[in-house]
Amino acid sequence: MKAKREALVSLFTAMREKKVDEDIIDLLMLINSIRGVYTTSSCSGRIGIIEEPDLGAKPLSRWLIKEHRPITFEEAKESLKNAQRGFIFLKSQPPIFHIVAESIKIGKKLHELGLASGFKYTTFKAVKDRILVEINGTEYLTAPLGKDGRVLVDDVYLKFAVELGNSMLIRAKSRLPRLKENFEKLKEELGEDELFYEVKRKFLT
């Protein structure tokens, strides 16, 4: 109960500060309104160009452009003008949802739900007395573009990488409506959580 309340406070605070991906707000609200589950960090899917000072140095990485919608070739090319140091990659990543379940039984239901919705990288595991389910797709693309501010590809390659990344993002996002439908069915099965509505009234009214 305490953990879900804290998670809901974080979610609604982030929503007020417009730090939540708009195209999955309704889905996040639905998931968190279900008894026995709540979300932590989640993303609606994104595409962008990133600088990594060293391979795998994620905390020190810098996005030159990052969008939760398809980007244009012109946007990608313009962003590359700001490259400075490190490896330059174009990345496309599918939607990902981290969901905590209060029991292994519910965790298994979430796992099955993710797979049935087309998110084939869905997994679940026990982490510090919590059952954490990660609903994740397969549509990942990482295309190297250059290093230390120097773009090492031509416009033909860049346009191809952008088009491919956009296509993968669109395909991954196309599964979100089916995911929402399956969570609506799960809500009918598990019921509503009054805690969600209590915290929602406090933060969003």
Quick one: pLDDT at residue 149?
94
CA distance 159 to 180: 33
Q: What is the spatial order of strands in the sheet that 62-67 belongs to?
A: 62-67, 46-52, 87-93, 141-147, 150-151
Residue 40 near residue 30 (C-beta atoms within 8 A): no
Could you tell me which residues come within 8 angstroms of residue 111 by beta carbon, excluding any fewer than 6 positions away? 122, 123, 124, 133
Beta strands in 21-93 (DSSP E): 37-43, 46-52, 62-67, 87-93
Domains of the chain: 39-191 (3.30.1960.10)
Beta strands in 94-170 (DSSP E): 96-101, 123-127, 130-136, 141-147, 150-151
Quick one: pLDDT at residue 126?
86
Quick one: pLDDT at residue 1?
65
In this structure, what token pair is assigned to residue 81? 């003008």
Quick one: pLDDT at residue 205?
65
- The predicted-structure confidence for 101-154, as pLDDT tens digits, reads as follows 999 999 999 999 999 999 999 998 887 778 999 999 999 999 999 999 999 999
**pLDDT by residue for the chain (205 residues), tens digit each?**
688 999 999 999 999 888 998 999 999 999 999 999 999 989 999 999 999 988 766 778 899 999 999 999 999 999 999 999 999 999 999 999 999 999 999 999 999 999 999 999 999 888 777 899 999 999 999 999 999 999 999 999 999 999 999 999 999 999 999 999 999 999 999 999 999 999 988 887 6
In sequence order, which ranges of 56-139 are alpha helices (DSSP H)?
73-79, 104-116
